[in-house]
């Protein structure tokens, strides 16, 4: 069974940075070759943030975070990172990583992901 564990959340001021980590383990490696980050704020729908297809290191970012967030991987550690710079109060949410076998154009569809982490809270104050 694939397991995902997020870490790195916290409370920061607007303009500061955080780096989230998603450690992946267990199950078939092929079932976790696409790792995505989602976020969900209270009362709002879950929103896709970024994804990376591990075999080709192909990264995608939502328009709302382009230029500020960057997804990357450390394959030796089976860990995917989300570097978040110039954070804004509207970035406040619980951030989740999710895994499936392929990324592709539907990477932003949360229902298509099989495995999820428990989430990590990010709070940005103005």
Residue 105: predicted pLDDT: 86
- β 115-116/93-100 pair status: antiparallel
CA distances from 37 to 11, 27, 51, 126 (A): 18, 19, 6, 24
What average pLDDT score do residues 95-102 get? Answer: 96
Mean pLDDT computed over 35-47: 97
Look at residue 18 and tell me whether its pLDDT is greater than 90.
Answer: yes
Give the pLDDT mean for 56-73: 96
Could you report the per-residue pLDDT of 6-16, keeping only the tens digit for each?
Answer: 999 999 999 99
pLDDT reported for residue 98:
98
Question: For residue 32, what pLDDT is reported?
Answer: 93
């Amino acid at each position: 069974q694939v397991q995902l564990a997020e870490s790195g959340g916290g409370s920061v001021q607007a303009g500061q940075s955080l780096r989230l980590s998603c450690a992946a383990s267990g199950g078939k490696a092929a079932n976790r070759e696409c790792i995505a980050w989602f976020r969900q704020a209270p009362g709002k729908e879950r929103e896709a943030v970024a994804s990376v297809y591990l075999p080709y290191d192909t990264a995608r970012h939502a328009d709302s975070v382009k230029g500020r967030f960057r997804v990357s991987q450390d394959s030796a550690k089976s860990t995917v990172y989300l570097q978040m710079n110039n954070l804004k109060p509207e970035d406040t949410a619980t951030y989740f990583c999710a895994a499936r076998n392929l990324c592709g154009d539907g990477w932003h569809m949360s229902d298509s992901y099989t495995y999820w982490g428990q989430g990590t809270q990010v709070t940005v104050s103005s």
